[in-house]
Amino acid sequence: MKKLLSIIGLSALLFTSCSKDNDTILVEADGKVTVSFDAVFGAQDFALNKDFTSGTKTFNFTKFRYWVSNVALVNSKGEAYQVPNSYFLVEETSAVPVQEGAFTYPATKREDVVLPNIPLGDYKAIKFSIGVDQKYNDNLSLQTAELSQLNGMTNVSWMWMTSYIFSSVGGKVTENGTSKTLLVETGLNANYKTVTVDLPQAVKISSAKETKIVLNADVEKAIDGVDVVTNPVVGASKATIMAAVATNYSTKVFSVKSVN
């Protein structure tokens, strides 16, 4: 215990001795940003097990899950700060049977992603990718951040492609009294795309105040343009549709709700 105290003491000494070089006493430093991916369906708040109407179709969802990776913040000079180890599973899901029912991933709601140690500065945009980059997508034994085989977002439904499922929307779609099971998923290296969301005005990130960026993640836009009654199941065997869904994620699913 004495030793520990002396470490703290010594560290404090070193710490303070360094700050003597600075003129000001209170210095703003690197800040923390929380990015909240708030799921919506068009103008409505998204929720599981609730009916949403879109044209002649009614949707009822059991899951909305996607990997957010390689997050970067772009400062007012246009320089990007790449957040290290940024692999996050954003999700709102009922219990997921994993490995065809061998075990169950519990019902989970996670929309906040915390980005620590963002260099002090004014930032005008956030960039991120949906899915997992090629290095990790091609080799499931490489581990970093939240990447895992144990959450049902890997090779379950496309066993012949041992890789990550980038995004997954599941539930039920009903039209003219006929219901179909809906499962629209993306994956494959070719569909790993970057999203750039411009903030309405530059936001200062510093230690003085935590910054919160709230993004809308619109499920309706994710499946926009897809005839989900004809093709209720989209995966690697429906490559063209899957690519269109991936493009939706990169171009229209995400927008800014608020920054403060």
Partner 1 sequence: MTGKIAFLRITVCILLPTAVSSCKKDVPLEEINPVPHAVKLEVPGNFPTVEQDLDNPLTAEGIELGRMLFYDVRLSGNNRISCASCHRQDLAFTDGLALSTIGVSGKMLDRHAPALFNLAWAKTGLFWDGGSKNLESQAFGPLTSADEMHQDLLVLEAELKQVPDYVTRFKKAFNEDIKSVNVVKALAQFQRTLISGTSRYDKYKRGEAGASLTATELLGMNLLNSKCKACHSGELFTDDGYHNNGIDATFSDDHEGIYQGRFRVSFDPNDMGKFKTPSLRNVMLTAPYMHDGRFKTIDEVLDHYEFGIKISPTTDQLLYQDQTGIPLSKIEREAIIAFLAALTDHEFITNKKMNNPNP
Tell me which residues touch partner 1 (CB under 8 A).
3-4, 7, 10-11, 14-15, 18-19, 22, 27-30, 98-103, 119-120, 138-143, 149-150, 154-156, 158-163, 236-237, 239
Which amino acid is present at 54? S
Minimum distance from CB of 101 to partner 1 (Å)?
8
Nearer Cβ to partner 1 (140/256) = 140
Minimum distance from CB of 250 to partner 1 (Å)?
19
Minimum distance from CB of 22 to partner 1 (Å)?
8
Q: How many CA atoms lie within 13 A of 239 on its CB side?
A: 4
Region class of 218: left (phi > 0), else alpha (psi between -120 and 50), else beta: beta
Q: Is the dihedral of CA 193, 99, 60, 63 positive or negative?
A: negative
Minimum distance from CB of 85 to partner 1 (Å)?
16
Nearer Cβ to partner 1 (117/258) = 117
Distances (CA, A) of 148 to 8, 107, 124, 137, 234: 36, 17, 32, 11, 23
Nearer Cβ to partner 1 (108/174) = 108
Nearer Cβ to partner 1 (15/176) = 15
Minimum distance from CB of 81 to partner 1 (Å)?
11
The answer to whether 135 and 147 are in contact (CB under 8 A) is no
Distance CA 58, CA 51 (A): 6
Minimum distance from CB of 116 to partner 1 (Å)?
11
Task: List the one residue out of 30, 90, 25 whose CA is nearest residue 211.
Answer: 30
Distance CA 239, CA 231 (A): 12
Nearer Cβ to partner 1 (40/184) = 184
End-to-end CA gap in the chain: 42
Nearer Cβ to partner 1 (50/239) = 239
The pair of three-digit structure tokens given for residue 168, joined into one six-digit string: 């997954």
